[in-house]
Amino acid sequence: MGWGRRWCGLARHFALGLAVLLCSTCALAQACLPQILSIQSAKAAGQGPPPIASAVRDWHNVTLPDHWLDRWPGYSGAVWYRIDWQRGCAHPPAASATAPAAADPVALALHSMVMAGEVFVNGDLLWRDRNLVEPLSRSWNLPRFWLLPESALHAGTNSVWIRVHGLAEQTPGLGEVRLGEPEALRQWHEQTWWNHRTLFAMNIVVSLVLGVLFAFAWLQRRASKAFGWYALNAFCWALFLANILATEAWPFPDTLAVARGNLLVFLLFGQSFCLFTWRFGRLHLPRLEKLLWALTLAGMAAAIFAPWWLVDGVLHIGLVYFGICVAVSLHFPLHAWRTREPGHLVYAACLLVFLCAGLHDMLALKKVIGPAMPWMPYTAPLTMLALSMVLGRQFMLGMRRIEQFNQELTDSVARACDELGGTLAREHALALSHSRLQERMQLAHDLHDSLGGSLVRSIAMVEQAGGPMHNRQFLSMLKLLRDDLRQMIDSGTSVSVTVPDTPQAWIAPLRHRFASLFDELDMQSDWQVPAAWPQPPGALQCLALTRVLEEALANVIKHSRAQCVQVQMQWPDPHWLMLRITDDGAGFDVAAVQQAGMGVGLRSMQARLQRLGGHLDMDSEPGATMLAAWLPVPGDPLHDGTGQDNLSGKSAPSPR
């Protein structure tokens, strides 16, 4: 037991000694780090080396980060920041008095400066921005790291001089400055670079990719306006972040012009954000949209045309739009809670996260809260990706509905095509049946008008013969009937019947056939036709006129008991041809005939003329009967001569 107590006591003493040794080592290491003695600032000239510290009288003790508007409101120009420091460890006696060879290296890390600047170490230039006059370089979000050269350091107190050039409208000042062991400061610099540069670059890439994707989606479906507003919102966000990463003012002429351009982008961002939120939530707010457009246009006009001395006030329009975006972001979750749609709920959650991050970073930017790591670079990509998934889901659902509609439309079209095919088949069968019926009617009319007229002439010749007829006379009548039948067959099977050269050539065969019969019946005939065609008719019109004239003359022979018959061809109008047949026979009651239904001959004549766009006029009384056949001539530019009347309401002149 005694030995055990001794060993426990020894262990306690060993642990206590080890702890004291570690604490001493840590304190020694801490003591060896560079120690900042003081940080002071004073107004400076725009150029030149650091002055002698005692020559500047208005030095002010400051803490970093610092904004000089708290001391010098409205001041724009250059300000010196002097940081006095010394090494923490004593140097070996053999070391040089000015540059100790055995001393540990010292690094300098700078968080930011607003807007441009230059760094001196003990009066020696270490680094400066490219442009220290307008347009100023932009180092306000650019962390920097340097390893201080030993040749520039002193054994005692050293001074780091930083001259910052800034504008009062841009909250000028100097960010956090660190002096210390190089590896530790390098890690701090890399972490700061990640937070202030890399994350923003990733945000820009994600925004541009999503903007391009949804812009193409909107171009494919213009009705999905939410996609278009989201694409514009993503592009504006990318441009707004590009201002954070920009190190020079190009392509703008000065820093205030950059601020104007950044304000324009932010106004478009707020406008597109509100419109996208309302379109996505299917909120119809026409009055609010008009008011927002008016406010946006007024803000853009102020940002572009406001004089330089009002720019500081104009830039506060961005705070107004930030408040509008906050109000929309707070209203949409209430709307999503009412609709309970999954997409709306996800977007509402994204808005709340984005809103919290935006408020945190805005308060940090305006120095309402202390220095803090920005949240927006972390939350923005996540919320954008979540929202993109929601929009992508909506797009896929829309495409699925379109595909379903296309399939239903294809099926409906197929059914309609089947029904149409059946209907067309029935229509074709009906058309064939109608065509056969038309051909039969045409054949009946041709037989009646042509061969029937020849038979009437032959019967009349037999009746007028005083005695038995010779074989030659019968043979002549049969040959005449054969010729009429052949002419009927030829004209009925060919539509390329040629038009005679003159009206007299056309009427000559008919005149030869009927004139001899009229002479035997003691009937006088008068044939009046012009010597030439004023406007030649078509072949089908000539054939129709031949049949009409044959039927009309046959009716005169059969029914009229006339003593005189007259045939006239006239052109009362340049567009109409008239064939008129008159006789002095017994006549007939036109009204009674039309009411009871015309005979086969009259119906045949009227049908022939109507198929070619013409018509038949009749007038009869005892001692005077007139038939007038009217046909439009092919020379009329409004008529094609095929039976389709395109005369736009023109009618034939009345017969005289």
Tokens of 629: 């056949």
Greatest alpha-carbon pair distance for the chain in Å reads 183
* Residue type at position 168: A
* Residue range 372-392, pLDDT digits in tens: 677 877 777 777 777 777 777
Question: Rounded to whole angstroms, how far apart are CA atoms 494 and 488?
Answer: 10
* Residue range 65-81, pLDDT digits in tens: 899 998 999 899 999 99
Question: Rounded to whole angstroms, how far apart are CA atoms 298 and 318?
Answer: 13
Tokens of 539: 């072949």
Partners of 619 in beta bridges: 626
> What element of type H or E holds 126?
strand 124-128
Closest by Cα among 527, 557, 552 to 464: 557
Order of all β-strands in the sheet with 615-621 = 524-528, 564-573, 576-583, 624-632, 615-621
CB atoms within 10 A of CB 618: 16
- Cis before residue 65, ω within 30 degrees of 0? yes
> What element of type H or E holds 109?
strand 107-110
Partners of 524 in beta bridges: 564
> What is the crossing angle of helices 225-245 and 199-220, to 10°?
160
Three-point CA angle 12, 17, 22, nearest 5°? 125
DSSP string, 177-195: EEEE-HHHHHHHHHHHHII
Question: Rounded to whole angstroms, how far apart are CA atoms 282 and 270?
Answer: 18
Report, in angstroms and rounded to the nearest whole number, the Rg of the chain calculated over CA atoms: 55
Tokens of 19: 């702890």
Closest by Cα among 329, 343, 550 to 453: 550
Question: Rounded to whole angstroms, how far apart are CA atoms 613 and 414?
Answer: 40
Q: Say what the pLDDT of residue 653 is.
A: 59
Order of all β-strands in the sheet with 157-166 = 60-61, 35-44, 77-86, 157-166, 116-121, 124-128
Q: Residue 20: what are its φ and ψ, rounded to 5°?
A: -65, -40
Question: Rounded to whole angstroms, how far apart are CA atoms 292 and 275?
Answer: 9
> What element of type H or E holds 527?
strand 524-528
**Beta-sheet pairing, 77-86 with 615-621:** unpaired
Question: Rounded to whole angstroms, how far apart are CA atoms 289 and 136?
Answer: 38
Q: Taking the chain (656 residues) in consecutive chunks of 10 residues, what is each chunk's mean pLDDT?
A: 52 57 47 84 89 81 91 92 83 43 80 93 92 91 92 89 91 92 94 90 89 87 86 92 90 88 92 91 91 92 82 77 89 91 85 83 72 74 75 76 88 91 87 76 66 67 66 63 62 61 87 79 88 85 84 82 90 89 86 71 80 87 90 60 42 52
Going by the DSSP 8-state scheme, the letter that residue 103 receives in this structure is: S
Q: Say what the pLDDT of residue 516 is.
A: 75
Q: How many residues does the structure list for the chain?
A: 656
Question: Rounded to whole angstroms, how far apart are CA atoms 265 and 317?
Answer: 12
Question: Rounded to whole angstroms, how far apart are CA atoms 105 and 86?
Answer: 13
Contact 84, 176 (CB under 8 A): no
Separation of CA 412 from chain center: 28
Distances (CA, A) of 267 to 245, 256, 288, 357: 19, 16, 16, 19
Tokens of 455: 């038979």
- Dihedral sign for Cα atoms in the order 69, 71, 76, 82: negative
Partners of 42 in beta bridges: 80
Question: Rounded to whole angstroms, how far apart are CA atoms 198 and 378?
Answer: 11
Residue-wise over 622-636: b if at least 16 C-beta within 10 A, else e? eeebbbbbbbbbbbb
Distances (CA, A) of 318 to 17, 242, 260, 269, 295: 62, 17, 11, 10, 12
Contact 167, 256 (CB under 8 A): yes
Q: CB neighbours of 296 closer than 8 A, spacing ≥ 6?
A: 267, 268, 270, 271
Contact 236, 272 (CB under 8 A): yes
Looking at domain 500-632, its CATH superfamily turns out to be Histidine kinase-like ATPase, C-terminal domain (3.30.565.10)
CATH class of the 34-89+103-180 domain in this structure:
mainly beta
Which residue ranges make up each domain of the chain? Answer: 34-89+103-180, 196-404, 500-632
Q: Residue 159: what are its φ and ψ, rounded to 5°?
A: -130, 135
Contact 391, 231 (CB under 8 A): no
- Residue indicated by tokens 């409906």: 412
Tokens of 326: 């906050």
Where residue 648 falls (left for φ over 0; alpha for ψ -120 to 50; beta otherwise) is: left
Q: Say what the pLDDT of residue 5 is.
A: 54
* Residue type at position 174: L
Q: Say what the pLDDT of residue 557 is.
A: 81
Q: Say what the pLDDT of residue 89 is.
A: 64
Contact 32, 104 (CB under 8 A): yes
Query: HEC profile for 572-612?
Result: EECCEEEEEEEECCCCCCHHHHHHHCCCHHHHHHHHHHHHC
Three-point CA angle 152, 157, 162, nearest 5°? 65
> What element of type H or E holds 19?
helix 2-32
Tokens of 63: 């803490």
> What element of type H or E holds 414?
helix 376-446
Partners of 162 in beta bridges: 81, 119
The domain at 196-404 falls in which architecture?
A: Up-down Bundle (1.20)
Coil, strand or helix at 102: coil
Contact 556, 587 (CB under 8 A): no
